[in-house]
């Protein structure tokens, strides 16, 4: 593929894939560790850990975005990879729940620094829109493959090893990621020309984001993605096992259906975006997610649920795949780290709302109420996005 002829991108993409697979193994290992420590309360511990993860993302990303232009990218990315390796290799020694919470915060604080800087580096490697759009598609595909392959890989590994060794493998993955990053020379960050104090630096990216019409629309679409995704991630296991009375294999297949829909879109969207404007594509994605959730009110059987989750995954990918391109079009090169960090922080704030909402609705009011409320939220967010993002807006900072 054309993109992989660039050694910098080839190594960075490999680093991303390896780190994602390792992180997926840790997700499985963490669930088993929680089960070993607290038994039936494992769901409560995992829910709290997930909330802590989102808090770390929301709070840390703007700080890194504010100062990323002052630091050498390669050294920063390698340091954060090494810190993540140290954190995950400490998990096998955990004996108390509070230690899980502390390590999860530290791990995701490092990820909240790594991911926006990584994302802001790619448009400096591929300045032209066509190649950058393809790079975004591959990045989306990497996330989808991780969601599909990591559980399968973990299941195979657990046949021959303790779950604690999954954390060791994740640490090795972060070390390999660091080696791949350090093996290439990365573009230097563009110096930030605007001055200001600490608060101005911390809020510059978010102020730019919220001051740009199409990015306000993107934020609303982020809420639609979070509403749909939280329903699928939090309640699939409950619906399949308890409402449909099926087993763990069917749960895994249902999760794979959403990943499959997302992968299909990630593979086909770059060609479509050469002919279509991204606004109608992204808004259509919001409508598809809303329709999928509304169809859940029909109390779908297993086959219908697979179709709904496939459509939901496709809709989510229609929103998320072009996001980096939209951010690139909305700022100057020196503003990218702060703006990518703002997107990272604000989008995860949406998930921080949606995750507990999906869990509480499903538990307290039932699956049909969860489908209904989250469908309404996704649809309202999509309609708000259409209003906030006028069709005629094309200029870089509008």
CA distance 320 to 308: 18
> Is 206 in contact with 346 (CB distance < 8 Å)?
yes
220 against 358, higher pLDDT? 220
> Is 321 in contact with 265 (CB distance < 8 Å)?
yes
- Indicate the number of domains in the chain: 2
CA distance 89 to 170: 8
Residues 72 and 114 in one domain: yes
Domain boundary among 147, 162, 187: 187
Q: What is the pLDDT of residues 65-100, one digit of tens each?
A: 666 667 788 888 999 999 999 999 999 998 888 998
Domain boundary among 131, 159, 187: 187
Residue 395 resides in a domain: no
Residues 180 and 244 in one domain: no
For residue 49, give both structure tokens.
């850990």
Residues 149 and 255 in one domain: no
Residue 281, Cβ density class (10 Å: 0-12 exposed, 13-18 middle, ≥19 buried):
middle
Residue 171 resides in a domain: yes
- pLDDT for 192 beyond 60: no
169 against 363, higher pLDDT? 169
Place of tokens 């990943």: 259
Residue 198 resides in a domain: no
CA distance 268 to 273: 9
Instruction: State the average pLDDT over residues 163-178.
Output: 91
- CATH code of the domain containing 236: 1.20.1250.20
Residue 150 phi, psi (nearest 5)? -60, -45
Q: What is the pLDDT of residues 296-352, one digit of tens each?
A: 999 999 999 999 999 999 999 999 989 888 988 888 777 777 787 788 889 888 988
Q: Which pTM does this prediction carry?
A: 0.77
Residues 125 and 236 in one domain: no
Residue 54 resides in a domain: yes
Instruction: State the average pLDDT over residues 140-168.
Output: 75
Residue 303: what pLDDT?
Answer: 96
Residue 398 resides in a domain: no
- Greatest mean pLDDT range, 40-54, 62-76, 263-277, 374-388: 374-388
Residues 106 and 182 in one domain: yes
Residues 44 and 174 in one domain: yes
Residue 396: what pLDDT?
Answer: 47
Residue 302 resides in a domain: yes
> Is 225 in contact with 288 (CB distance < 8 Å)?
no
Residue 183: what pLDDT?
Answer: 92
Domain boundary among 154, 187, 220: 187
Residue 197 resides in a domain: no
Instruction: State the average pLDDT over residues 94-114.
Output: 88
Residues 271 and 224 in one domain: yes
Residues 5 and 142 in one domain: yes
Residues 111 and 82 in one domain: yes
Question: Sign of the CA dihedral 60, 61, 66, 68?
Answer: positive
Residue 395: what pLDDT?
Answer: 45
Residue 235 resides in a domain: yes
Question: Sign of the CA dihedral 305, 306, 311, 317?
Answer: positive
Residues 86 and 54 in one domain: yes
Residues 220 and 182 in one domain: no
> Is 106 in contact with 80 (CB distance < 8 Å)?
no
Residues 214 and 89 in one domain: no
- pLDDT for 269 beyond 80: yes
CA distance 335 to 124: 12
* Domain range for 50: 1-187
């Amino acid at each position: 593929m054309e993109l992989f002829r660039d050694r910098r991108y080839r190594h960075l993409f490999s680093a991303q894939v390896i780190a994602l697979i390792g992180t997926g193994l840790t997700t499985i290992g963490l669930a088993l560790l929680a089960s070993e420590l607290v038994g039936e309360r494992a769901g409560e511990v995992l829910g709290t850990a997930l909330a802590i993860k989102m808090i770390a993302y929301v709070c840390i990303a703007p700080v890194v975005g504010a100062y990323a232009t002052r630091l050498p990218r390669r050294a920063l990315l390698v340091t954060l990879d090494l810190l993540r390796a140290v954190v995950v290799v400490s998990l096998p020694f955990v004996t108390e729940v509070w230690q899980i919470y502390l390590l999860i915060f530290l791990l995701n604080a490092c990820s909240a620094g790594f991911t926006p800087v990584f994302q802001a580096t790619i448009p400096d490697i591929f300045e032209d829109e066509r190649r950058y759009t393809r790079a975004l598609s591959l990045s989306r595909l990497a996330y989808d493959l991780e969601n599909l392959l990591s559980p399968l890989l973990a299941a195979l590994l657990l046949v021959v090893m303790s779950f604690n060794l999954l954390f060791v493998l994740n640490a090795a993955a972060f070390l390999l990621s660091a080696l791949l990053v350090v093996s290439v020379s990365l573009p230097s960050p563009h110096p930030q020309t605007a001055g200001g104090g600490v608060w101005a630096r911390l809020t510059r990216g978010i102020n730019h984001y919220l001051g740009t019409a199409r990015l306000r629309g993107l934020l609303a679409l982020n809420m639609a993605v979070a509403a749909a995704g939280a329903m699928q991630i939090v309640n699939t296991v409950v619906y399949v096992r308890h409402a449909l009375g099926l087993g763990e294999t069917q749960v895994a297949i249902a999760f794979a259906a959403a990943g499959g829909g997302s992968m299909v879109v990630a593979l086909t969207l770059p060609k479509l975006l050469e002919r279509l404007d991204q606004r109608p594509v992204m808004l259509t994605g919001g409508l598809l997610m809303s329709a999928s959730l509304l169809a859940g009110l029909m109390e779908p059987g297993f086959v219908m649920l697979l179709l709904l989750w496939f459509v939901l995954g496709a809709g989510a990918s229609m929103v998320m795949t072009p996001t980096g391109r939209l951010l690139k079009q909305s700022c100057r090169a020196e503003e990218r780290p702060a703006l990518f960090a703002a997107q990272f922080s604000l989008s995860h704030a949406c998930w921080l709302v949606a995750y507990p909402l999906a869990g509480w609705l499903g538990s307290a009011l039932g699956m049909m109420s969860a489908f209904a409320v989250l469908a309404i939220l996704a649809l309202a967010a999509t309609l708000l996005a259409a209003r906030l993002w006028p069709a005629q807006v094309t200029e870089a900072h509008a």
